[in-house]
Amino acid sequence: MVSKKHIESAHQRIQPYIHNTPILTSSILNGLTGAALYFKCENFQKIGAFKARGALNFALQLSKEELKNGLCTHSSGNHAQAVALAAQLLGTKAYIVMPKTAPQAKVDATKGYGAIVTFCEAILQAREDTLATIQQKTKAVFIPPYNHDWIIEGQATCAKEILEELDALDFVITPVGGGGLLAGSALAAKYFSPKTTVIGAEPEGADDAYRSFQTGILITSEHPNTIADGLLTSLGPINFEIIKQHVSEINLVTDEEIVAAMKLIYQHLKIVVEPSSATVLALVLKRKAFFKEKRIALILSGGNVDLGKLPF
């Protein structure tokens, strides 16, 4: 079980390598929503996404012996870059399996950190099979994208930073894909600000977390289809257990709502985010009455986007 102490240790461990990212506000977006919104800009994080936190917290706990054959993982993009960065910092190799549908910007950046990239079909089975083959050959250590306490502890440091900077928050809203960020944020709230409620925002086209949460049974997305390419993966079982206990709701948003919110973020915050990040603002806009006059932190999970393919 991830404890308060675990999250504090994780934060201490990764602090020399990550940014305490800024929190931005916009009076226009506050006006539009009728709420006080605090945007935690993980698009400004190392590798352009919160994923650096979890991957570094994992890699920094490995021994020299474990590190020597390299690190490996499968990821549609941001976790790939995070593992590649960790390998580069620790002076070892990174073997990354990426679905062939991954955004070019994420593929380029992963290679930019010196990783060896192998492409596969865009389904979980193909990703896991390809990785197993590579792992057998190289003996590299697998860094899981979300389903592991060390990853969850690392991702929890993002909400911890928010709760240390802002008082009396009513809500923290995070996107949900594999559930590392949502589970970590829920635990951070439990330990550092028990009165703050944590909600997950999920795309309708990859609604496994929503359905799992509603039924209490872990359901896998079969053919996820959403513009939020960072949220295609299904919830991990460890993540699900934490989310069931400590998250108050998971709400769905459509791709259309995601694109509209993404445009508002570019226009008024003047920052570049990927579609996954926009789910959180899309949710506030969708449930305006519910969120009215609340103090809400929204985690903008990343900013790695193919600029030539912006949806507006």
Selected binder of a copy of itself within 52, 182, 199, 273 (CB under 8 A):
273
Measure the N-to-C terminal CA separation of the chain; round to a whole number of Å.
Answer: 43
Q: Does 52 bind a copy of itself (CB under 8 A)?
A: no
CB of 24 to a copy of itself, least distance (A): 8
Of positions 56, 71, 98, 105, contacts a copy of itself by CB under 8 A = 105
Q: Residue 180's closest CA among 143, 133, 134?
A: 143
Question: Which one among 2, 18, 37, 48 touches a copy of itself, defined by CB under 8 A?
Answer: 48
**Residue 308 lies near a copy of itself (rule: CB under 8 A):** yes
Tell me whether residue 212 or residue 277 sits nearer to a copy of itself (CB atom): 277
Residue with tokens 């030539």, as numbered in its chain = 308
List residues bridging with 120 in a β-sheet: 99
Q: Which of 18, 308, 25, 10 is nearest to 187 (CA)?
A: 10
Using rule CB under 8 A, residue 43 touches a copy of itself = yes
Which member of 52, 107, 272, 296 binds a copy of itself (CB under 8 A)?
272
Interface with a copy of itself, residue 198, by CB under 8 A: no
Q: Which stretch binds a copy of itself (CB under 8 A): 8-16, 40-48, 128-136, 286-294?
A: 40-48
Q: Please, are residues 229 and 274 in contact by the beta-carbon 8 Å criterion?
A: yes
Pattern 63-102, a copy of itself, x by CB under 8 A: ----------------------------------------
Judge residue 74's burial from the number of C-beta atoms within 10 Å of its C-beta, 0-12 exposed, 13-18 middle, 19 or more buried.
buried
Contact stretch for a copy of itself (CB under 8 A) within 91-99, 151-159, 216-224, 267-275: 267-275
270 counts as binding a copy of itself under rule CB under 8 A: yes
**Looking at residue 130, what DSSP letter applies?**
H
- 173 forms bridges with which residues in the sheet? 199, 298
128 makes contact with a copy of itself (CB under 8 A): no
Task: Please tell me whether residue 310 binds a copy of itself under the rule CB under 8 A.
Answer: yes
The distance of closest approach from Cβ of residue 146 to a copy of itself in the complex, given in angstroms and rounded to an integer, is 23
- Angle at CA of residue 184, ends 80 and 303, nearest 5°: 45
Q: Counting Cβ atoms within 10 Å, is residue 63 exposed (0-12), middle (13-18) or buried (19+)? A: exposed
Q: In the numeric block, which tokens belong to residue 126?
A: 């193909």
DSSP letter (8 states) at residue 265: I
C-alpha span between 289 and 39 (Å, rounded)? 20
Give the footprint of a copy of itself on this chain (CB under 8 A). 22, 24, 43-44, 48, 105, 263, 266-267, 270-273, 303, 307-308, 310, 312
